[in-house]
Amino acid sequence: MHRKSQPIDSARRTPRQLRSRDTVEIIFEATARILQKEGRAALNTNYIAERAGISVGTLYQYFPNKESILIAIARREIARQESAVLKAMSSTTEEMDPARLAIRALIASLRSRREARRIAIETLVSEGFGNEIVSSVQKLAQMLATRSERFWPERTEPVSPVSLFVITRAISGVMRSASQEQSPLLDSAEFEDEVVHLFHAYFSAPRK
């Protein structure tokens, strides 16, 4: 009697895939620690491999150089930030201002390992992939447009694409400056309040 075949789980990772994912995470962690404690000048593939507890040959199986590691870290940070903010924007919580929820999520994404994140993002831009940051901001603007009734429940006319462009790029610029300058303001409640005020003041100001 033949046993009934089990359905194949397409989402299940093979041991090799799991090991690969774990190795990449170890490389990311070692890189971030070096950047946080010693800065970019100390970063090289031999040192990363040493801190990760792997051979440099193993590291080269995943990344050809330190720049590719930094770019991968930057892409992961952008994806995490985007996911966190989109989740906040989609929240059905009625107890808090949705704009504050989204801005709070955005600020929180910038607080961890600031130096490592700053260097990774700078590398992404310098290597010619700055459009990926732009693409992420565009997604957030599109989400804001689709959720406009939640952000502006009393508004009767649709928010114009120009207005969405201006406010999302204004907030993105403030956040980028705070991150690049490693500003302690990111940890203050007042900073969050001011960005929330910027959002609401922009749309409440009378138009000619």
Which segments of the chain have a pLDDT < 50? 1-13, 15
Is residue 92 located within the same domain as residue 188? yes
Is residue 166 located within the same domain as residue 137? yes
CB 168 within 8 A of CB 141: yes
Residue 104 lies inside a defined structural domain of this protein: yes
Q: What is the pLDDT at residue 38?
A: 95
Q: How far is CA 61 from CA 23, 28, 54, 65, 207, in A?
A: 10, 14, 11, 10, 57
* CATH number, domain containing residue 31: 1.10.10.60
Query: Looking at the 3D structure of the chain, how many domains does it have?
Result: 2
Q: How far apart are CA 75 and CA 33, in angstroms?
A: 18
CB 144 within 8 A of CB 168: yes
Is residue 135 located within the same domain as residue 183? yes
Q: What is the pLDDT at residue 177?
A: 93
Parent domain of 31: 14-64
